[in-house]
Amino acid sequence: MLKEGPIRALGAMSGTSLDGVDAALLETDGHEILAFGETAYRPYGGDERAVIRAALGRWPGEPGVAAAAEVVETAHAELLAGLQGAELIGFHGQTLAHDPAGGRTHQAGDGRVLAEVLGLPVVWDFRSTDMEMGGQGAPLAPFFHFACAKWMGAEAPLAFLNLGGVGNLSWVDPQKSAPEEEGALLAFDTGPANAPINDLMQARLGREMDAGGALAAMGAVDGDVLEAFLEHPHFFKVPPKSLDRDAFGDLQAKVAGLSDADAAATLTAIAAASVVKGMEHCPARPERVLVTGGGRRNPVLMEMLAAGLDCPVAPVEDAGLDGDMLEAQAFAYLAVRVMKGLATSAPGTTGVAAPVGGGRVSRPGMLAALAGEG
């Protein structure tokens, strides 16, 4: 059993943008953030990224999934082994498919393997229990965003906007006492963010991303494509709601007739418009929107957000947080909550019927024990 009180946890995240693995140490009692620790990053190589990309949209047992899982496990093991002092690991894995309507989700990577290799307890498979209880299984970072708002000393409602492959928003009321309290949080996926832009750059120019929004800055937004996009049924659903990375997989076809620059500008405008549309669902105007994830480094996207929203928009660094590591820190925080039997999602974050804790716990030696039974 882990000790009572504060726990030093190591969280890891491999997001839908497929850039690599983030890892971060966090000290927490499962309620408050007590200290931020060391962080590290391991990019995926081109071959590794290709293996994962080939498995996107696939479920366990389908072609390419085992190879993708091996890449994910190897990359995580290499990175996490270099960070010392953790008592516990929170391992999200790599989302390959997410089907909230069908009540299923698939994150590649086996926590039992990491527990064996790293010699520490690993909390993983964070989403399944929520989905079994009728939730969307996503987003899960909002409980950590609530803790961040408390750590910041925020008093008025604010929003955290993660612009990874998919965008997700957490509206937080820091006057509430706990994240599972009614009205404390509203969270949902806003729509596509970096994924379509990255896919465009990869397909047309062989680049990983539109660095600094340079290509989008040279283009013009196609208003017809943007207007048609906003008619998608997702925008008319009441939150909580979540998306798969490829829920808007037809976007490449929609911009196929545009120049590279115009296509990049249009997809960037689509990411911003998704957020502006989603903000209409928030219970009250946030005092500010703090942006995390790779999208905060795209000045074109940030300018579009600032123009479309009626509140200040800033990177989370303005509040003293690390926008590259917030998701990894979130899964360190959630891992501690799982070990302490605390909720990790609630009706306002995933639509689950009641606050629920998720996650499987694997300890060193479990794989060997299973092999012995076999």
Domains and CATH numbers, the chain: 7-139+325-373 (3.30.420.40), 151-319 (3.30.420.40)
What is the spatial distance between Cα 218 and Cα 19, in angstroms, rounded to a whole number? 24
Tell me if residue 172 falls in helix, strand or coil.
strand
Cβ proximity of 78 and 44 under 8 Å? no
Tell me if residue 127 falls in helix, strand or coil.
coil
What is the spatial distance between Cα 220 and Cα 268, in angstroms, rounded to a whole number? 10
The DSSP letter of residue 69 is H
The DSSP letter of residue 168 is E
Tell me if residue 36 falls in helix, strand or coil.
strand
CA angle 190/323/265 to nearest 5° reads 50
Cβ proximity of 88 and 277 under 8 Å? no
Q: In sequence order, what DSSP letters do the residues of 206-233 get, joined into one string? A: S-SS-GGGHHHHTS---HHHHHHHTTSG
What is the spatial distance between Cα 169 and Cα 239, in angstroms, rounded to a whole number? 10
Residue type (1 letter), 91: F
Per-residue pLDDT of the chain (374 residues; tens, 9 = 90+): 456 789 999 999 998 778 899 999 999 999 999 999 999 999 999 999 999 999 999 999 999 999 999 999 999 999 999 999 999 999 999 999 989 889 999 999 999 999 999 999 999 999 999 999 999 998 999 999 999 999 999 999 999 999 988 999 999 999 999 999 999 999 999 999 999 999 999 999 999 899 999 999 999 999 999 999 999 999 999 998 888 777 888 999 999 999 999 999 999 999 999 999 999 999 999 999 999 999 999 999 999 999 999 999 999 999 999 999 999 999 999 999 999 999 999 999 999 999 999 999 999 987 766 665 55
What is the spatial distance between Cα 256 and Cα 33, in angstroms, rounded to a whole number? 46
What is the spatial distance between Cα 43 and Cα 227, in angstroms, rounded to a whole number? 36
| Predicted TM-score (pTM) of this structure | 0.93
